Amino acid sequence: MDPRQTEQKRAYDTQDFMAVIFVGNGENLYPFNEGARGAGVLPKALMPVGNKPVINNVLDWVFVAGLTDVLVIVPPKAAAAISDHLTEYLQTEFSSSSQQRAPRITVKTYDDGEGDGEDVDDHSGTARILKRFRSLIKASTDFILLPCDISFPSNFSLASILDRHRATPDAVLTSVWYEAPESVRESEEKMIVATDKHTSQLLQVYPVDELENHDLTLRMALLSAHPTLSLSTRLLDAHVYVFRRTVLDLLATRRDRDLTSVREQFVPWLLKGQWQAGLADAWGRLLNPPRRDPFAAALARSTATSFRAGVALAAAAAPSASATPEGDELFEFKNIARAKAKGAHKPKPAAWSCHVVIVKPEAGGSKEDEKKKGKAEPEPERIIRANNIAGYWEMNRHVVKTLGAANPARAKEDKDEIAPSAQISPDSLVGEGVRVGERASIKKCIVGRHCVIGKNAKLTGCVLWDFCVVEEGARIENAVLANNVRVGEKAQIKDCEFGPGFEASPGAVIRGERMVAGQEV
């Protein structure tokens, strides 16, 4: 059942949050991001997970929370394909919706924004790109920054994060970190994350690889301000950030060419301002405008409040950030910072803070408990990002594990395309238009649209995108086949990833390889 149909949301002409979704180039997704023209190379946001584009997970999560205004920032070469998909998504999901206000999705390319004269390209940092779109985020609206390639546990809602941010009036940032499976954590950059256990503040993030002589230096100012500081290397950044709108005013004080990544540069810089002498005071003018009233905001969202009163209360609760021209803002900020640096005064504690939501898998029962019950406990749900091969595998494995006997994978009208002697396990997902030959076997697999599986072919633990062909007698185990891949007769494939348009010759034996179209074993 669609959760949008079970949660009645009140529509507003004003919203206190906007969603901004970044779509990257998928540099860590080789070989899926390479192939000949016409081979079916997909933008990162449209990679299939459970036979649906991965960005659908994020959009569903956003709209269930009641947000209706979404900005999607994409690489120029992916704009047309993503725009077409998002148009189809809205028509499919909301054509018969009873919501008073239909969601709005705006698609912009990296080079559509307003910069300081310097061009951006596909490899420009997210902080630099975000600054260019500052004018598209209303001065009265905070925003949440999201990746396009993430899935969340069913019991973890965006509304809970936004409520956490609203309930902390001095928060300029609320970010999400999570514990990942070991297979995924090994492929990600290891970070040291410093948090305050009592206040849930995020204090410092530092790459382990950048430590000199494996020694971590913590400033006395940080330890003095946060004596309950806790360090962890088990957490990964979900790239989910709820920002106060005024953070963009601080971002505007930096030149485009000085900006790189939100995760690697801007967030650590912002965290340092909470406790480093002088920064909190210098940045206070931009980050801490007149305090918002959380009680007015709560009343504005109450179903007992009339629409007219709700609009008035929402206006009273919103931050009064002024849209100062970027050049004037940078000039004024630098003058104030210089004046404060010259004066001898004791720095005041920051009137703003950065907070963290840590998502851990729910603890399951022990193996002894499982034996007593006679069945295995379901695997705990986790946050998963498909920003690399390991994450993409993990996300699809999770889909397979959720399938069961009630799996609606095979449409009734397609049954004639599947031979009676073919075996398809209940924990497999088969797309429309798939043809399966006699005595073929498909176990724990996701098979995309219009694929052809030949006679006596055997697939185990595989993910096939659209229009793949597996010829007679082929054996494939633990492999991902992107669009238009062909596996020849009696080929044996194990632990592989094939890019769009790759062809494995008949009788080929390929193990543990990542191949693109045109390559030969």
Q: Tell me the three-class secondary structure of 327-385, residue by residue.
A: HHHHHHHHHHHHHHHHCCCCCCCCCCEEEEEEECCCCCCCHHHHHHHCCCCCCCCCCEE
Give the per-residue pLDDT at 305.
61
Higher pLDDT, 177 or 341: 177
Residue 282: which pLDDT band, with cuts at 50, 70 and 90?
A: confident
User: Average of pLDDT values for 84-97?
Assistant: 87
Most confident of 7-11, 194-198, 253-257: 194-198
Tell me which residue of 497, 493, 467, 466 sits closest to 480, measured CA to CA: 497
Q: Please give the structure tokens belonging to residue 254.
A: 């930096």
pLDDT in tens, 9-57: 433 434 689 999 999 998 999 999 987 666 789 999 999 999 999 999 9
- pLDDT, position 74: 95
Report whether pLDDT(473) > 80: yes
pLDDT for the residue 38: 67
pLDDT score at 315: 58
Q: What is the pLDDT of residue 412?
A: 41
Which pLDDT band holds residue 222 (cuts at 50, 70, 90)? confident
The whole-chain average pLDDT of the chain stands at: 82
Instruction: Give the rounded percent of residues in the chain with a pLDDT score beyond 90.
Output: 47
Name the residue with higher pLDDT: 6 or 498: 498
Q: pLDDT exceeding 70 applies to what percent of the chain?
A: 75
Average the pLDDT over 56-69 and give the result.
Answer: 94
d(CA 162, CA 213): 40
| Across 438-446, average pLDDT | 96
Most confident of 105-109, 179-183, 185-189: 105-109
Q: Using an 8 Å Cβ cutoff, are 484 and 500 in contact? A: yes
Domain ranges of the chain: 15-359, 413-515
Of the pLDDT bands very low, low, confident and very high (cuts 50, 70, 90), residue 423 is very high
pLDDT at residue 414, as a whole number: 53
Most confident by average pLDDT, 154-163, 310-319, 341-350 = 154-163
State the CATH architecture for 413-515: 3 Solenoid (2.160)
Q: Which two tokens stand for residue 193?
A: 């994350």
Q: Give me the amino acid identity at 475.
A: R
Predicted confidence band of residue 322 (pLDDT cuts 50, 70, 90) = very low
Categorize the per-residue pLDDT at 78 as very low, low, confident or very high, splitting at 50, 70 and 90. Answer: very high
In this prediction, residue 197 carries a pLDDT of 86
**For the whole model, what pTM was predicted?**
0.83
- Using the structure block, give the residue that is written with the tokens 């690889």: 209
When mean pLDDT is compared across 4-8, 55-59, 208-212, the lowest value belongs to 4-8
Query: What phi and psi values does residue 112 have, to the nearest 5 degrees?
Result: -80, -20
Mean pLDDT of 463-484: 97
Query: How many whole angstroms separate alpha carbon 385 and alpha carbon 393?
Result: 10
Least confident of 74-78, 105-109, 253-257: 253-257
pLDDT classification of 394: cutoffs 50, 70, 90 = very high
Q: Which residue has 């029962």 as its token pair?
A: 365
pLDDT band at 307 (very low <50, low <70, confident <90, very high): low
Give 475's contacts (C-beta < 8 A, 6+ positions apart). Answer: 457, 458, 490, 491, 492, 493
pLDDT in the model for residue 6:
40
pLDDT of residue 177: 95
Of residues 354 and 211, the one with the higher pLDDT is 354
The CATH code of the domain at 15-359 is 3.90.550.10
Section 392-405 average pLDDT? 87
Alpha carbon 203 to chain centroid, angstroms: 22
Q: Which residues pair with 19 in a beta bridge?
A: 70, 144
* Cβ contacts of 60-63, under 8 Å, gap ≥ 24: 60/3, 61/152, 61/157, 61/158, 62/19, 62/21, 62/146, 62/158, 63/4, 63/93, 63/103
Q: What pLDDT, on a 0 to 100 scale, did the predictor assign at position 320?
A: 46
Query: Quick check: 364 pLDDT over 80?
Result: no
pLDDT bucket at 332, cuts 50 / 70 / 90: low
The alpha helices in 65-144, defined as continuous H runs, are: 79-94, 126-132
